[in-house]
Amino acid sequence: KAGVTQTPRYLIKTRGQQVTLSCSPISGHRSVSWYQQTPGQGLQFLFEYFSETQRNKGNFPGRFSGRQFSNSRSEMNVSTLELGDSALYLCASSRTPQPDEQFFGPGTRLTVL
């Protein structure tokens, strides 16, 4: 059974640009959550989507947004990139919404110059 996939795996952007990251959950999983991992702040919850609806959101500015499609695939978007947005962005999927067990993808490493 295929795991969670994320594309792209690496990205380099400059300040002010925007970026879209993609996540395909495990087949049959309908919930997708996004996390940001940085050396300073650790792992922080961004948001969760289930059945194309955002269920909850972490403490991040409105520049961070996401969506989920009918096939459960999800995208997250960061607009007006800042240097501090450089991080590993992890997507996790679960069969049902949190707190169901989540399985993590390999992550997208975003570098903002």
Binding site for another protein (CB under 8 A): 33, 35, 42-48, 55-56, 58, 90, 92, 97-99, 101-107
Nearer CB in complex with another protein: 2/101? 101
Q: Measured from the CB of residue 31, what is the shortest distance to another protein in angstroms?
A: 10
Q: Is the peptide bond before 99 cis (omega within 30 degrees of 0)?
A: yes
Question: How many angstroms separate the CA atoms of 74 and 51, rounded?
Answer: 11
Q: Measured from the CB of residue 13, what is the shortest distance to another protein in angstroms?
A: 20
Q: Measured from the CB of residue 7, what is the shortest distance to another protein in angstroms?
A: 14
Following CA atoms 22, 25, 30, 32 in sequence, which dihedral angle do they give, to the nearest 10 degrees? Answer: -50
Question: How many angstroms separate the CA atoms of 60 and 81, rounded?
Answer: 13
Nearer CB in complex with another protein: 18/96? 96
Token pair, residue 78, equals: 């960061």
Nearer CB in complex with another protein: 45/67? 45
